[in-house]
Structure 1
């Protein structure tokens, strides 16, 4: 089905002159022409304009909104890269833990970097990094020593993930990532950021121990599509200003990490259960 400019304008509540301007200046226009040469919009054209309208409503300039809307359309739905089969994952975990025990940073970086390059951040995180760091933590607890092993292993994973090129997409960030006010663990947020970079999504991270006021001010200033707050213990979640964040911004609020398990959440807060779900949440929001 195709639509006339007048029909599209009525459908979206936008002036026909705006449609014409966006077509002429930014290339956001109809894909089809009738036999008489009249402009005709397809469903995909209407969706592209809808995305551009949502972006301009968030303060993005029309030129940047047009580029970003096209990137969102061309990116398509999230698909995790090739998963690791059991043998490859098992070998990678053995190599990483062996290197960690030897404090061999170079080898850990090599393993982590190849996993990300070949299989993507999500598969590497789920199948190798999380199991390895969990095993290392359990080993340290049993020994009563070896914290340096865990620190160097975490640093190696962090460095490998930061090797994923950051997006240069225009406009507000698709996601703002933050910890709870007294939370010090940031590795899971870095994994989400790296996975979003693979999807050409712009993101910002406030890092560890973010004061409530600083988080609220950053959300108000940056106007991200999604604000996600991570916590690994339930007692750390109490100081997160969810109500104030909701009142000050139209950013979609989400929480993640084991600390939120069992915590009663307001209806306006979402809780992705995995890295894949968190990426999908951000991508869905950028397509609204």
Structure 2
């Protein structure tokens, strides 16, 4: 059945558990037996997902239409590329990858999501995947990074977990001392951008000491004092966690580390002149590379 529909077996089980789109009968050995009517409902679910419906909407549509086939004549589905048309600013050639990932995410097909991400990471690198693939896909399905639990929770969580897994897997090892200390602000539990930053820097030969999300301020100060990093970067996704006092607590012993307030949660207001504000992942990666390779900032003769 899964092969016939082109979805993962785990996806069929999820549709059964969440939306009641399972088989109408089971054998004595607990095997799942799909009747023709069951197959029709699943095909309607798949069709609606591919046309951009959210999972709950697609399930409601499948149940309604399968109960009243005459409703098919009155239904107007969007064009198959309607979801991709809502994507913001993808680069030339990015459309097919975006459409592929949108459809996999909406179908809650984690195997297909993982495969699409892995291929793109190999071909284009982590920053391209983050900016031009993952971000547009979330925009296309109506979910943003700033508050990933506000809407489309299941979609955001599925994609987040798949991105984290593949980004960690794609992070190359870097020899040499870690001159960058990277962490999430106290209370900031959304740590995915930290792993994206680390992976992008590793692609550029920069080693990072990553302390994870929601690091308490005393722990950050102690780690900076013990390791003497050249850069301390603190990520805050939400404004509620962007407390300038966290950065003021970093030891100032020479050589002083460069302090970076990273992520959309921060604003320049309230930050000392020692602290640079970098609102997104690409800015953060670029600035850290330039700090560690100052000759790149100097004019060529």
Length-normalised TM-score, structure 2: 0.61
Kept after mapping to 1: 8 A contact 2:244/2:270: no
Cα distance in 1, alignment partners of residues 151 and 181 from structure 2:
36
Cα distance in 1, alignment partners of residues 151 and 264 from structure 2:
25
Structure ranking higher on relative contact order (CA contacts 8 Å, 6+ apart):
1
Q: Give yes or no for the alignment of 1:279 onto 2:293.
A: no
Structure of larger gyration radius: 2
CA deviations 1:261-284 (Å, max 9, x no partner) are 353211111122443322222222
Match of 2:267 among 261, 269, 272: 261
Length-normalised TM-score, structure 1: 0.63
Cα distance in 2, alignment partners of residues 114 and 284 from structure 1:
29
Shift of 1:168: 3.1
Kept after mapping to 2: 8 A contact 1:133/1:154: no
Give the 3-state SS of the residue equivalent to 1:153 in structure 2: helix
- Which residue of 1 is the match for residue 111 of structure 2? 106
Kept after mapping to 2: 8 A contact 1:180/1:239: no
Kept after mapping to 1: 8 A contact 2:264/2:279: no
Shift of 1:223: 1.9
Give the 3-state SS of the residue equivalent to 1:108 in structure 2: helix
Q: Map 1:110-189 to 2 at 5 A.
A: 110-136=115-141, 138=143, 146-171=152-177, 173-189=178-194
Kept after mapping to 2: 8 A contact 1:167/1:201: no
Compare the two structures and name the one with the higher helix fraction.
1
Give the 3-state SS of the residue equivalent to 1:162 in structure 2: helix
Shift of 1:239: 6.3
- Which residue of 1 is the match for residue 223 of structure 2? 218
Kept after mapping to 2: 8 A contact 1:216/1:245: yes
In structure 2, stretches of 5+ residues that fail to align are: 1-88, 295-301
Cα distance in 1, alignment partners of residues 252 and 116 from structure 2:
44
Shift of 1:179: 0.9
Kept after mapping to 2: 8 A contact 1:105/1:156: yes
Shift of 1:222: 2.1
Shift of 1:145: 6.8
CA deviations 1:183-213 (Å, max 9, x no partner) are 0111111111110110111112111211100
Shift of 1:86: 3.4
CA pair 186-248 structure 1, distance change in 2 beyond 3 A: farther
Give the 3-state SS of the residue equivalent to 1:227 in structure 2: strand
Cα distance in 2, alignment partners of residues 234 and 96 from structure 1:
30
CA pair 287-145 structure 1, distance change in 2 beyond 3 A: closer
Cα distance in 1, alignment partners of residues 151 and 272 from structure 2:
41
Give the 3-state SS of the residue equivalent to 1:228 in structure 2: strand
Shift of 1:109: 1.1
Kept after mapping to 1: 8 A contact 2:143/2:156: no
Give the 3-state SS of the residue equivalent to 1:183 in structure 2: coil
Shift of 1:236: 1.1
In structure 1, stretches of 5+ residues that fail to align are: 1-83
| Count of residues paired in the alignment | 201
CA pair 136-210 structure 1, distance change in 2 beyond 3 A: farther
Deviates more, 1:249-258 or 1:184-193: 249-258
